[in-house]
């Protein structure tokens, strides 16, 4: 299949035309404007590249890695950490710090796909109320978290990090619990791998994933600061009880 070249105002090609021989590469070019990024997610694509000076690469893999909010696998050791880790969770209070944590060098890997331009782009989506973070704190220190964006009842997870054991898993667990409460259907985890499978992530055919996207009701998108929303809901529960 031919990979499309995107220029300004060019719509995204049909995700089914992605070149699966090279991992689902769909298109090359374009920019990281908020409008372009939102259009990409609506089309079933996402950016992934490691050089801000090179053209942007857009992907739509076959199959897609997805997690149902109620299907995360919580191991015995993780369950214990959730009870005794001595951490607190916050939402949308340190978005840029979480993205920076995800972009930091990791053991056994050089470079990062969360480039400076990518960090700025998702920061703009956060300012617009689409991108969100879950933060894990030990005292005043940020020890883990994750970020992604929300459209309708789908959450598109981008990356997570840990500075203490299982901090990213703790963030994911709290995200799943919150999305389950809010009636979200799916978390997109992009590309399947063994680590994700150990957390309950499954592979979904691209056709099925695109059908879910087509049926996604974006009028239900929870824009704005999720921390403020969650705090308000908790206060309401106390008032009503």
What pLDDT does 2 receive? 64
Q: Where are the domains of the chain?
A: 4-62, 65-240
Q: What is the pLDDT of residue 225?
A: 97
Do residues 66 and 201 touch, judged by C-beta distance below 8 A?
yes
Tally of CA atoms within 13 A in the half-sphere of 141 that contains its CB: 7
Residue 46 has a pLDDT of: 97
Helix (H) or strand (E) holding 148: strand 141-151
The b/e string for 92-104 (b: 16+ C-beta within 10 A; e otherwise) is: bbbbeebbebbbe
pLDDT along the chain (241 residues), means of 10: 76 92 95 95 95 93 98 94 90 98 77 89 98 97 98 98 96 97 97 96 98 95 95 64 43
- Kindly list the distances between the CA atom of residue 202 and the CA atoms of 72, 116, 143, 193, in Å, as whole numbers in the listed order: 10, 31, 27, 10
Token look-up 């995700």 returns 15
Which value, to the nearest 10 degrees, does the dihedral of the CA atoms of residues 107, 113, 119, 125 take? -120
- Would you mind telling me the total number of residues written for the chain in this entry? 241
Half-sphere exposure in the Cβ direction for 174 (13 Å, CA)? 25
CATH hierarchy code of domain 65-240: 3.40.630.70
Tell me if 133 sits within 8 A of 94, measured CB to CB. Answer: yes
Domain spanning 4-62 has what CATH number?
3.30.70.3550
Residue 38: partners with Cβ closer than 8 Å, 6 or more residues away: 125, 130, 151
Which helix (H) or strand (E) covers residue 103, if one does? helix 95-103
Give residue 193's pLDDT. 95
Rounded-to-integer distance, Cα 147 and Cα 32, Å:
17
């Amino acid at each position: 299949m031919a990979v499309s070249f995107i220029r300004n105002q060019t719509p995204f090609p049909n995700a089914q035309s992605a070149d699966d021989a090279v991992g689902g590469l769909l298109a090359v070019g374009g920019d990281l404007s908020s409008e372009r990024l939102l259009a990409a997610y609506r089309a079933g694509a996402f950016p992934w590249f490691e050089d801000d000076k090179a053209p942007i690469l857009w992907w739509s893999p076959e199959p897609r890695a997805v997690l149902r909010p109620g299907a995360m696998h919580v191991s015995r050791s993780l369950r214990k950490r959730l009870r005794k880790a001595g951490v607190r969770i916050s939402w949308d209070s340190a978005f840029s710090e979480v993205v920076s944590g995800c972009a930091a060098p990791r053991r056994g890997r050089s470079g990062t796909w969360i480039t400076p331009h990518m960090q700025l782009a998702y920061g703009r989506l956060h300012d617009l109320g689409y991108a969100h973070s879950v933060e894990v704190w030990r005292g005043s220190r940020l020890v883990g978290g994750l970020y992604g964006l929300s459209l309708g009842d789908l959450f598109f997870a981008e990356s997570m990090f840990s500075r203490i054991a299982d901090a990213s898993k703790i963030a994911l667990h709290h995200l799943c619990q919150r999305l389950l409460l809010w009636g979200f259907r799916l978390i997109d985890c992009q590309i399947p791998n063994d680590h994700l499978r150990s957390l309950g992530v499954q592979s979904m055919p691209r056709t099925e994933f695109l059908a879910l996207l087509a049926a996604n009701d974006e009028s239900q998108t929870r824009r704005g600061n999720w921390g403020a929303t969650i705090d308000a809901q908790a206060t309401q529960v106390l008032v009503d009880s």
